[in-house]
A and B are shown apart, each in its own frame.
Chain A
Amino acid sequence: MKIYMKPIELIAWFTKEGIPHPIKYKIQTEDNSQKVVKILRLLARTEEKIAGNRMYIFKCEGNINGILKIFELKYELNTCKWYLYKI
């Protein structure tokens, strides 16, 4: 997988304990069009605290251009921003 770390728009649902679960996201592609990707399955959630900055890393599965792909999303807790980390 290659690292992109692109900021994305994302819809998620939160559990009562405050854990986010991503549902689908919208990303700007190279030809300036918007693409919506639905997360079909959440494979794993890990947390990192590099340089004191807490981030959740979600390993997910979704359909991109008809192909089932695995990618990683990152959620930055202190800014509430989502990124497409690796795909």
Chain B
Amino acid sequence: MFERLEMFLINKYTKHLIFHIDVNSAYLSWEAASRLQQGDSLDLRTIPSAVGGDPETRHGIILAKSIPAKKFKIQTGETLFSARTKCPDLVIVSPNYPLYRQCSTALKELVQNYSPLIQQYSVDEFFLDFTGMNNLFGNPVDTALKIKEHVKNELGFTVNIGISTNKLLAKMGSELQKPDRVHTLFPEEISKKMWPLPIDELFGVGRATSQKLRDRGIKTIGDLAAQTPAYLERFLKSYGTLIWNYANGRDISPVRNNKTIPVKGMGNSTTLSFDVTNQETAYLILLSLTETVTTRLRDAGFCAGLISVSLKTNGFVFCSHQKKLYSPTDCTSAIHEIACTLFDQLWQGEPLRHLGIRLSELCLNNFYQPSLFEEKLEKQRLLDKTIDTIRSKYGSKAVFRSSFLHSGLSPIMGGVIESEEYPMMSSLL
């Protein structure tokens, strides 16, 4: 009761205004726009089309689809094979991550004209803090329409914009109806626009939570909002209170530029196009992943105290195993050795399709206390540092471990674009 009153007063008197800008079918729209600019007469958005996998090897999954493709019930995440059975004439194009980064950067630059406070939430989503900007730009809905048209005319693709007093509602608002629309979802409109929606449409509610809620008769966001936090906490713990607040449109997270979230862990993983059946190959893949993640670790100035290895069998069974270190390290060889030990303890011989490494319990590397049991430490660190310098100057494949020669495996695995930062989505608002 108190919390509700507080939020009401904060929102009433500070009059926060937040926009959420979301590109419609990003990967597909961007590919379509790029092709049109290059003189292609076909607009991919007007035919059943999708972005996915590798059409040459005929493997992969759907990453994005056009609106005509939706009519064939094609879903993001399904295999190209199953998509083709639903729609034999489906045009499939491979993903082009450098293009997506280019479009994302251009969109960011455009949006920055409308507010100094922008948060890039993912490659195709931005939060914009419009609080107090009405003096400069006027009515928020008119400005949102202006932004939408500006993006369409200058960059050639459409966006949805949601307007509200906090990020959660702005994000829910932008998804109400697509494409090319501006929606408001202010607290007063929640009961009409948000509560009738099914529970899995709420931000933060995924497959597992949705099932738990449905089992208890909670089917719509309105049903969830009507519960008490105490009841939800019984089977969802503190997460229950969080989604209860979300269902009631309450969220106080600020629009922040991305530098301010502390990094808690780093990982890299890869899904392979073949089954891994021997230890040697698995070790090599782990080495490749270790190279990628330790480069990032050293670049960020951290050492890791907890190493975790995860795997997925060809039957999609997932498991992981972790080990805490006596003293944190950032050394590629040391981490690889431990990763291999963890793998041996975890693996039971089944064919594998996915391997991953995650480093957490990070601490800064400026204070480093070697234990009495570590040898050749200084030499290793110098070696790692030298390799990092060579790779940053001449490319990540300029120098690599000889065990990768003739192995058929890439010496640096994991990540989307190997050499540059790609804004990945996060589960935190």
Q: Is A52 an interface residue (CB 8 A)?
A: yes
A residues near B157, Cβ cutoff 8 Å: 51
A49: nearest residue on chain B (CB-CB)?
B154
CA–CA, A10 to B143, complex, Å? 42
Task: State which residues 39-72 of B face A: CB under 8 Å.
Answer: 39, 41
User: B151-170 toward A: CB 8 Å interface, digit per residue (1/0)?
Assistant: 00011110000000000000
CA–CA, A86 to B186, complex, Å? 48
B37: nearest residue on chain A (CB-CB)?
A50
A78: nearest residue on chain B (CB-CB)?
B102
CB distance from B30 to the nearest CB of A (A): 6
- State whether B106 touches A5 (Cβ < 8 A): no
A2: nearest residue on chain B (CB-CB)?
B41
Interface centre among B33, B39, B107, B157 (most CB of A within 10 A): B39
A residues near B155, Cβ cutoff 8 Å: 49-52
CB distance from A80 to the nearest CB of B (A): 16
A residues near B156, Cβ cutoff 8 Å: 50-51
A residues near B104, Cβ cutoff 8 Å: 52
- State whether A50 touches B39 (Cβ < 8 A): no
CA–CA, A3 to B43, complex, Å? 14
- State whether A55 touches B37 (Cβ < 8 A): yes
CB distance from A71 to the nearest CB of B (A): 13
Task: State which residues 36-87 of A face B: CB under 8 Å.
Answer: 48-53, 55, 83, 85
* Interface SS of A by simple majority: strand
- State whether B39 touches A52 (Cβ < 8 A): no
- State whether A50 touches B36 (Cβ < 8 A): yes
CB distance from B86 to the nearest CB of A (A): 28
Task: State which residues 15-52 of A face B: CB under 8 Å.
Answer: 48-52
Q: Residue A5 contacts which of B34, B38, B99 (CB distance < 8 angstroms)?
A: B38
- State whether B102 touches A53 (Cβ < 8 A): yes
CA–CA, A48 to B154, complex, Å? 7
How many A residues, CB 8 Å from partner? 12
- State whether B103 touches A52 (Cβ < 8 A): yes
CA–CA, A52 to B39, complex, Å? 16
CA–CA, A4 to B38, complex, Å? 10
Interface centre among B30, B38, B99, B103 (most CB of A within 10 A): B38
- State whether A53 touches B41 (Cβ < 8 A): no
- State whether A53 touches B39 (Cβ < 8 A): no
Q: Is B341 an interface residue (CB 8 A)?
A: no
Interface centre among A3, A53, A55 (most CB of B within 10 A): A53
A residues near B36, Cβ cutoff 8 Å: 50
Q: Residue A3 contacts which of B33, B34, B41, B107 (CB distance < 8 angstroms)?
A: B41
CB distance from B152 to the nearest CB of A (A): 11
CA–CA, A50 to B29, complex, Å? 11
CA–CA, A3 to B36, complex, Å? 11
Given known A3-B39, A3-B41, A83-B39, contact A51–B154 (CB-CB < 8 A): no
- State whether A51 touches B39 (Cβ < 8 A): no
Given known A50-B155, A52-B155, contact A85–B34 (CB-CB < 8 A): no
Q: Is B105 an interface residue (CB 8 A)?
A: yes
B residues near A49, Cβ cutoff 8 Å: 106, 154-155
B residues near A52, Cβ cutoff 8 Å: 102-107, 155
B110: nearest residue on chain A (CB-CB)?
A49
- State whether B39 touches A85 (Cβ < 8 A): yes
CA–CA, A52 to B154, complex, Å? 9
B residues near A85, Cβ cutoff 8 Å: 39
CB distance from A22 to the nearest CB of B (A): 18
CA–CA, A85 to B40, complex, Å? 11
A residues near B106, Cβ cutoff 8 Å: 49, 51-52
- State whether A51 touches B30 (Cβ < 8 A): yes
The 3 closest A-B pairs by CB, nearest first: A5-B39, A52-B106, A50-B156
Q: Which residues of B contact A (CB under 8 A)?
A: 30, 33-34, 36-39, 41, 99, 102-107, 154-157
A/B interface sample: 27 pairs, CB < 8 A: A3-B39, A3-B41, A4-B39, A5-B39, A48-B37, A48-B154, A49-B106, A50-B33, A50-B34, A50-B156, A51-B33, A51-B34, A51-B37, A51-B99, A51-B102, A51-B103, A51-B106, A51-B155, A51-B156, A51-B157, A52-B102, A52-B103, A52-B107, A52-B155, A53-B34, A53-B37, A85-B39
14 extra interface residue pairs, beta carbon distance < 8 Å, beyond A3-B41, A51-B34, A52-B104? A4-B39, A49-B106, A49-B155, A50-B33, A50-B37, A51-B30, A51-B37, A51-B102, A51-B103, A51-B155, A52-B103, A53-B34, A53-B37, A85-B39
